[in-house]
Amino acid sequence: MTLLSGWIVFDKMESPAVDSGLTQKQRTINQMMEGMTMEDKIGQLFLGHIPEQEAEQIVGAYYLGGYMLESKDVEGKSLSQLKKDLASYQKASNIPLLLASNEEGGAVSQISPILKEPFASPMELYDEGGLDAVLEGAKSKVSVLKDLGISAGFFPIADVVTNPSSPIYERTLGQDAMTTSDYVREVVTLLKEENFLSTLKHFPGSSETGDAITGLVYDDRPVDELRKQDFLPFEAGIEAGADSVMVSHIILTAVSDQPSSISPEVMAILRQELGFEGVILTDDFDKLGLSEFLDQNEAALQAIEAGADMILSSNFTSQIPYLLDQVKRGKLSEDRIEQSVERILGMKYDLGLIK
């Protein structure tokens, strides 16, 4: 194995004897994991956003699995400068980063402020030209993001919301469950064709009772009601081959007394009932819907124990050492860590980040 400009390159002559039944993807991932320390592996579990300068140095120091852009990464920059900066973050990481930006379109877009034409929201596009317009907009958006070196935009939103008073309404398609399912299925299919990460959010479905950004949110709906409506777009996206699912901090009281992002019961629904085998990503740990419930370090431990694979957080500088300590103490198994690392590396392989 050799390092070339910060990227891992596996030489054919170094490949050990392996089961001929394994795919090239499996062989590559197995070989990578054999050369990773526990620090490397735990770092892969975090998709960090960094509220300070020197992102390049921090990315390398903490072995991060991914980096999400914040407004500070974009403000006052040209597209060419942003592209250069992102390339420097990528170069600083021995294992290729999942570079991400929250690019739903409309009000939720980090890149739009420096574009000549901002990304429109799915609802705007659907109202103007139906699903064809949505897909055309998504394809154009992906082209811009990929040119910058970004592989994840955290869409499509699979929440079924038809009430304009909902905090998330304008971010969704604003249509019923069946129409939203068709939208999610088509967008996921497009993103697979474009070799760009698809992320279904926010499982188990948005509640109209509050917003986890501002505090704890309780959803008292029975699970059977969710099965008939809110789960349908997620099922459609999973069947279409979605790469990842983002789990919210909503407390689904019929299932768990914990935020969904740290709930084993909610994760079990996603894995066992809906059959999702890809990467489970938590919603932002900085949201009050989680930070008011539990200490950030302990929340990271509980998320991984519950079945999450990647944690979206700005507090990874304390969470990574905390998880490492839990492994050393025997309170968190190496096997559990490696299950998630294998999924994350597999996702990166599928995106072409790992060769």
Domain range annotation of the chain: 2-350
How far is CA 16 from each of CA 13, 24, 27, rounded to the nearest angstrom? 8, 13, 9
The pLDDT of residue 50: 77
Q: Whole-angstrom Cα distance, residue 147 to residue 87?
A: 11
Q: Whole-angstrom Cα distance, residue 331 to residue 323?
A: 9
The pLDDT of residue 9: 42
The pLDDT of residue 11: 43
How far is CA 286 from each of CA 85, 113, 216, 248, rounded to the nearest angstrom? 24, 23, 12, 12
**Measured at the alpha carbon of residue 248, what is the angle toward residues 74 and 268, in degrees to the nearest 5?**
135
The pLDDT of residue 4: 36
The pLDDT of residue 19: 57
The pLDDT of residue 257: 95
What does 245-314 look like in DSSP terms, one character per residue? EEE---EETTT-SS-GGG-HHHHHIIIIIS---SEEEEPPTTSHHHHTTS-HHHHHHHHHHHT--BEEES
The pLDDT of residue 60: 84
**Measured at the alpha carbon of residue 251, what is the angle toward residues 247 and 255, in degrees to the nearest 5?**
95
- CA 333, chain centre distance (Å): 23
**Strands (DSSP E) along 306-350, which ranges?**
311-313
> In CATH, what is the architecture of 2-350?
Alpha-Beta Barrel (3.20)
- Closest by Cα among 72, 137, 66, 151 to 105: 137
Per-residue pLDDT of the chain (355 residues; tens, 9 = 90+): 443 334 444 443 344 444 568 999 999 999 999 999 999 999 999 999 976 567 888 888 899 999 999 888 899 999 999 999 999 999 999 999 999 999 999 999 999 999 999 999 999 999 999 999 999 999 999 999 999 999 999 999 999 999 998 989 999 999 999 999 999 999 999 999 999 999 999 999 986 666 767 778 899 999 999 999 999 999 999 999 999 999 999 999 999 999 999 999 999 999 999 999 999 999 999 888 788 889 999 999 999 999 999 999 999 999 999 999 999 999 999 999 999 999 999 999 999 999 8
- Closest by Cα among 111, 108, 187, 188 to 148: 111
